[in-house]
């Protein structure tokens, strides 16, 4: 078995999402290319360190560097069983930035600005349910349970969950399906009949945002963040939002309390508890 196939098998066994597998495999290909095609089996810590120095000379975000380091740890630690080669890798903990949120009015303008029906319905679905774009793009018609009013989602790490399917969203999906007749079993497809490419969807969203939101940079995850924050402001409990988003840890969900203005306003005003002098 080739190393690539062995790593792919290990990634699948570990339950990593398809996008994570792609990123990790790409990182190891880059490592091999940097060393002129040398087999990783023959690499030592010195070769890995030289590649790390090369990465540090490039203008990479901390998130991207973290991805590449994780790929190295997985490949050398799990697939090759030589974790000592990457034991030196570490990254300082950085503060998690506040998620970007759109107002309901901005979401409405953005969705209306998507001129292609397929993309407008896709991102309406994402905002209405909080799905990841990778989850929405592989939605199947059989995942729509109209009788129970839910969508069956195959999420990150092969985890499955149910999300609410409102009557309005169900009507939208039905009308879209009647007009588009996407290639079975997928709900959203490319011109080749395969599931819609998330990168194509991202590009369509970015283009619409630049036109109708004064050039604001918007990603599919911004709609997911907006869904969660608006749910919180409408009084939905954090635990419910955690389940809807498919978060493994509640701490990931609690960050939305940092940007919910309604939650802040509901907090007690400490001055109101002080007795005023008559």
Q: How far is CA 46 from the centre of its chain?
A: 34
Lookup: tokens for 266: 């509901």
* Per-residue model confidence (pLDDT) at position 79: 95
Interaxial angle between packed helices 220-233 and 238-245, expressed in degrees from 0 to 180 and rounded to the nearest 10: 160
**Is the predicted pLDDT of residue 92 greater than 80, yes or no?**
no
**pTM value > 0.85:** no
Annotation says 152 is catalytic: no
Across residues 262-270, what is the average pLDDT? 54
- Per-residue pLDDT, averaged over 78-87, amounts to 95
Percent of the chain at pLDDT exceeding 90: 67
16 included as an active-site residue: no
Selecting among 16, 118, 132, 225, the annotated active-site residue is 132
Mark whether 127 is an active-site residue.
Answer: no
Position with higher pLDDT, 266 vs 172: 172
Taken in order 237, 238, 243, 245, is the CA torsion positive or negative?
positive
Domains of the chain: 3-86 (1.10.150.130), 104-264 (1.10.443.10)
If you average pLDDT over every residue of the chain, what do you get? Answer: 89
pLDDT at site 254 = 84
Check if 118 is active-site: no
- C-alpha dihedral, 160 to 162 to 168 to 174, nearest 10°: 50
What digits encode the pLDDT tens for the residues 131-166?
A: 999 999 999 999 999 999 999 998 776 688 999 999
Place 17 in a pLDDT band, splitting at 50, 70 and 90.
confident
């Amino acid at each position: 078995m080739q190393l690539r196939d062995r790593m792919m098998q290990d990634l699948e066994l570990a339950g990593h999402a398809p996008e994570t597998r792609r990123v990790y495999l790409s990182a190891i290909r880059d490592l091999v290319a940097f060393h002129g095609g040398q087999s990783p089996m023959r690499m030592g810590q010195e070769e890995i360190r030289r590649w790390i120095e090369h990465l540090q000379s490039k203008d990479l975000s901390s998130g991207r560097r973290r991805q590449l380091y994780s790929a190295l740890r997985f490949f050398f630690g799990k697939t090759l069983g030589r974790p000592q080669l990457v034991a030196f890798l570490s990254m300082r903990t950085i503060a998690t930035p506040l998620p970007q949120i759109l107002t309901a009015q901005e979401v409405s303008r953005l969705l209306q600005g998507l001129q292609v029906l397929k993309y407008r319905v896709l991102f309406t679905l994402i905002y209405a349910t909080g799905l990841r774009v990778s989850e929405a793009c592989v939605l199947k018609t059989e995942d729509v349970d109209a009788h129970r009013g839910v969508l069956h989602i195959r999420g990150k790490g092969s985890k499955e969950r149910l999300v609410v399917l409102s009557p309005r969203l169900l009507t939208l999906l039905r009308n879209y399906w009647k007009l588009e007749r996407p290639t079975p079993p997928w709900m959203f497809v490319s011109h080749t009949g395969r599931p819609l490419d998330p990168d194509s969807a991202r590009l369509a969203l970015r283009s619409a945002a630049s036109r109708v939101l004064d050039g604001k940079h918007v990603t599919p995850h911004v709609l997911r963040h907006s869904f969660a924050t608006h749910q919180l402001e409408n009084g939905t409990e954090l635990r419910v939002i955690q389940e809807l988003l498919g978060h493994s840890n509640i701490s990931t969900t609690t960050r939305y309390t940092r940007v919910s203005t309604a939650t802040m306003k509901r907090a007690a005003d400490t001055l109101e508890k002080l007795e005023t002098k008559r």
